[in-house]
Amino acid sequence: MNEEQRKEMSQIQSKDPNSADQNNLNRIKQKTSDDFMKYFETTYQPPNMRDAQRRKKKDTDVLYDFSIPEDMDQSGSGKKYMIRTYGCQMNEHDTEVMAGIFEAMGYESTSNTKEADVILLNTCAIRENAENRVFGEIGHLKPLKLENPNLVLGICGCMSQEESVVNRILKKHPFIDLIFGTHNIHRLPQLLKEAMFGKEMVIDVWSKEGDIIENLPRSRKGNIKAWVNIMYGCDKFCTYCIVPYTRGKERSRMPKDIIQEVRHLAAQGYKEVTLLGQNVNAYGKDLDIEYGLGDLMDELRSIDLPRIRFTTSHPRDFDDRLIEVLAKGGNMLDHIHLPVQSGNTDVLKIMGRKYSREEYLELVGKIRTAMPEATLTTDIIVGFPNETAEQFEDTISLVEEVGFEHAYTFIYSPRDNTPAAKMKDNIPMDEKKARLQRLNKIVNQQSADAMSQYEGEIVDVLVEGESKNNPDVLAGYTKRNKLVNFRAPDSVIGQIIPVKIIKAKTWSLDGELVQEKVEVN
Ligand code: 5AD
Ligand code: SF4
């Protein structure tokens, strides 16, 4: 392989999917299981981070100048909006920002599609089934639009960033009024105006990320737990993942802006803040200062807020400084979600994860030494193209060795224009399903075993409200992220209270209030 070819191959990883060299993509398509490893060992190169860094420094500005345009101010008075959210917490939080913008324009929220004047679907593109659900929902919304032509129907979020999705909507769902992506949420007022008064479908999807807008309004869901973005985008380019394309390059918020937001939430009485990013461990790498997630957590530790957590981690960037800070305890939680994806080094290499099984286990060892009480949870993909039975066994053995207490497990789903989607796959779907089932059985058993150790213990629970399954029971989480259900008066909602565990189940604990230690109104 000469230098030119190597460069071309590396571009497949780093380029915008739409401009990737078709010949190279075809070349990957021809690969068979046997030469995957040879191909990756000889030609795989990480994306060109130096270029990405340069581009970010030049391109990302931090702006504090958001305002509702005069002609849209109070334009929502007497009107209602509804946002249906799919996918991750990043999307949930984007919905809070859009809700804030709607409310700043005078709109009220509704959960009834029939009363809504605007309906937005904030979509997720991570796997094919997430997209299918959205297309199903678009079909359900069509009769509403026929009944009420003034209704504005919009699609936003990660799916909007995909060219194929936009084309499909244009061709098959022309009744949609508005499509916008993840980089231009702040333009919602202008886009709504165009959608209301124009005749054409409004499509405003930026392929390149723009500036960080700091002063967007937010209408937060609830007053106990809050989400705070610390960074946007992802530069990891795992070969199966669409996120670096739909969310753009990594862009960190300035520490002072994050600290101010968290302080403000603490002053408002929030009890838990989750710092959000697709790869939070890369926080700060794009800033001009020497400052990382560990430094940020250390500063946040001193804020009078009972619980601070973060999601999601990438093992590659999880450094000693962060472990040292987390081990200080206090409001740092005893739970680390550390996606591993596979327990086999060769599969990890083809996935572009940039760590080996051994390196992952070494990191787990460091965390366990520093935080012996911590709960570890993970994400796993089974049935990656050509994953052999032996490679899958390595995932099982790693799950057992680490003793994950919970795992989000997925069957690999090919995503358009990602490098993995070009790989030929010889594993039948039935085999993939069988692997998933086997893995889930083991994970569930480990979860049940971990739960059973709590029987008879007293744990501190942040009470969130009524249980989703039973309104007569309250529910909340421990510092190690265990769901606890128990009977108590509503006055304890929002407090952190001691609960005695009487029964362990597979995914939750049943407890009873330790009356004498709680002030009950
Ligand atoms: N197929 C299956 N699972 C995926 N994930 C990301 N992309 C894919 C895909 N193409 C999983 C990973 C990630 C989680 C959020 O979703 O496990 O950690
Ligand atoms: Fe996707 Fe996470 Fe990998 Fe980024 S680090 S590419 S978000 S799986």
415 pocket-lining for ligand 1 (C-beta < 6 Å)? yes
Question: How large is the C-alpha radius of gyration of the chain?
Answer: 24
Cβ-based burial of 193 (10 A; exposed 0-12, middle 13-18, buried ≥19): middle
- pLDDT attached to residue 519: 60
Query: Distance from the CA of 56 to the center of ligand 2, in angstroms?
Result: 18
User: What are the angstrom distances between the C-alpha of 513 and each of 61, 475, 483?
Assistant: 50, 12, 14
Q: Judge whether 116 and 81 are in contact, CB under 8 Å.
A: yes
Q: Which two tokens stand for residue 110?
A: 């509704």
- Ligand 2 atom index nearest CA of 279: 5
Query: Distance from the CA of 348 to the center of ligand 1, in angstroms?
Result: 13
User: Following CA atoms 184, 187, 193, 194 in sequence, which dihedral angle do they give, to the nearest 10 degrees?
Assistant: -40
**H or E stretch covering 84:** strand 80-85
- pLDDT attached to residue 12: 35
- CA nearest ligand 1 atom 18, residue: 379
- Say how far apart CA 358 and CA 376 lie, in whole Å: 17
User: Which ligand places an atom closest to the C-alpha of 420?
Assistant: 1
Q: Judge whether 367 and 374 are in contact, CB under 8 Å.
A: yes
- pLDDT attached to residue 57: 53
Distance from first CA to last CA of the chain, Å, rounded? 74
- pLDDT attached to residue 409: 98
User: Which ligand places an atom closest to the C-alpha of 239?
Assistant: 2
Q: Which two tokens stand for residue 339?
A: 């996606």
Q: CATH 3.40.50.12160 residue ranges in the chain? A: 3-46+62-204
User: Which ligand places an atom closest to the C-alpha of 337?
Assistant: 1
- pLDDT attached to residue 209: 83
Q: Which fold has domain 3-46+62-204?
A: Rossmann fold (3.40.50)
Give pLDDT tens digits for 223-265.
999 999 999 999 999 999 999 999 999 999 999 999 999 999 9
- Ligand 1 atom index nearest CA of 241: 7
Query: Distance from the CA of 37 to the center of ligand 1, in angstroms?
Result: 21
- Model pTM? 0.89
**DSSP symbols for 441-493:** HHHHHHHHHHHHTTTT-EEEEEEEEE-SS-TTSEEEE-TT--EEEEE--GGGT
Q: Judge whether 61 and 211 are in contact, CB under 8 Å.
A: yes
User: What are the angstrom distances between the C-alpha of 456 and each of 231, 397, 501, 512, 514?
Assistant: 41, 31, 5, 10, 12
Pocket test of ligand 1: the residue of 128, 350, 379, 422 to mutate, having most ligand atoms within 8 Å of its CB, is 379
249 pocket-lining for ligand 2 (C-beta < 6 Å)? no
For the domain bounded by 222-333, which CATH number is listed?
A: 3.30.750.210
Q: CATH 3.30.750.200 residue ranges in the chain? A: 338-351+370-451
Q: Which two tokens stand for residue 117?
A: 């004047």
- CA nearest ligand 2 atom 1, residue: 241
Distance of CA 111 to the CA centre of its chain: 24
68 CB-side CA count, 13 A: 19
Q: Which two tokens stand for residue 181?
A: 């992506």
| 391-393-398 Cα angle (round to 5) | 100
Pocket test of ligand 1: the residue of 410, 412, 413, 436 to mutate, having most ligand atoms within 8 Å of its CB, is 410
Q: Judge whether 416 and 380 are in contact, CB under 8 Å.
A: no
Q: CATH 3.30.750.210 residue ranges in the chain? A: 222-333
- Say how far apart CA 337 and CA 407 lie, in whole Å: 9
Q: Is 241 annotated as a binding residue?
A: yes
Give pLDDT tens digits for 155-194.
999 999 999 999 999 999 999 999 999 999 999 999 999 9
Contacts of 124 (CB under 8 A, 6+ apart): 86, 87, 88, 91, 130, 131, 134, 157, 158, 159
Q: Is 238 annotated as a binding residue?
A: yes
User: Following CA atoms 211, 87, 178, 237 in sequence, which dihedral angle do they give, to the nearest 10 degrees?
Assistant: 50
- Ligand 1 atom index nearest CA of 411: 2
- Ligand 1 atom index nearest CA of 415: 10
- CA nearest ligand 1 atom 17, residue: 379
- Say how far apart CA 338 and CA 166 lie, in whole Å: 33
Q: Judge whether 86 and 121 are in contact, CB under 8 Å.
A: yes
- Ligand 1 atom index nearest CA of 414: 10
User: Which ligand places an atom closest to the C-alpha of 436?
Assistant: 1
Q: Which two tokens stand for residue 302?
A: 């001193």
- Say how far apart CA 457 and CA 500 lie, in whole Å: 6
- CA nearest ligand 2 atom 3, residue: 238
Q: Is 234 annotated as a binding residue?
A: yes
191 pocket-lining for ligand 2 (C-beta < 6 Å)? no
Partners of 119 in the β-ladder: 82, 153
Alpha helices in 329-406 (DSSP H): 345-351, 357-370, 389-402
Q: Is 156 annotated as a binding residue?
A: no
Cβ-based burial of 471 (10 A; exposed 0-12, middle 13-18, buried ≥19): exposed
User: What are the angstrom distances between the C-alpha of 145 and each of 23, 200, 429?
Assistant: 43, 15, 38
Q: CATH 2.40.50 residue ranges in the chain? A: 458-517
382 pocket-lining for ligand 2 (C-beta < 6 Å)? no
Angle, in degrees to the nearest 10, between helices 3-14 and 33-43: 100
- Say how far apart CA 207 and CA 336 lie, in whole Å: 33
Residue whose structure tokens are 């040879």: 38
339 pocket-lining for ligand 1 (C-beta < 6 Å)? yes
Query: Distance from the CA of 409 to the center of ligand 1, in angstroms?
Result: 9
154 pocket-lining for ligand 2 (C-beta < 6 Å)? no
- pLDDT attached to residue 49: 35
- CA nearest ligand 1 atom 9, residue: 413
13 pocket-lining for ligand 2 (C-beta < 6 Å)? no
Partners of 152 in the β-ladder: 118
- pLDDT attached to residue 520: 58
Partners of 335 in the β-ladder: 375
Q: Judge whether 280 and 312 are in contact, CB under 8 Å.
A: yes
127 pocket-lining for ligand 1 (C-beta < 6 Å)? yes
Class of domain 458-517: mainly beta
Ramachandran angles phi, psi of 240, nearest 5°: -95, -10
236 pocket-lining for ligand 2 (C-beta < 6 Å)? yes
User: Which ligand places an atom closest to the C-alpha of 353?
Assistant: 2
Q: Which fold has domain 338-351+370-451?
A: Transcription Regulator spoIIAA (3.30.750)
Which amino acid is it at 97? V
Residue whose structure tokens are 């006055």: 491
Query: Distance from the CA of 50 to the center of ligand 2, in angstroms?
Result: 19
- pLDDT attached to residue 60: 79
β-pair type (202-204, 178-180): parallel
Report, as ranges of residue numbers, the positions in the chain whose pLDDT lies below 70.
1-59, 516-521
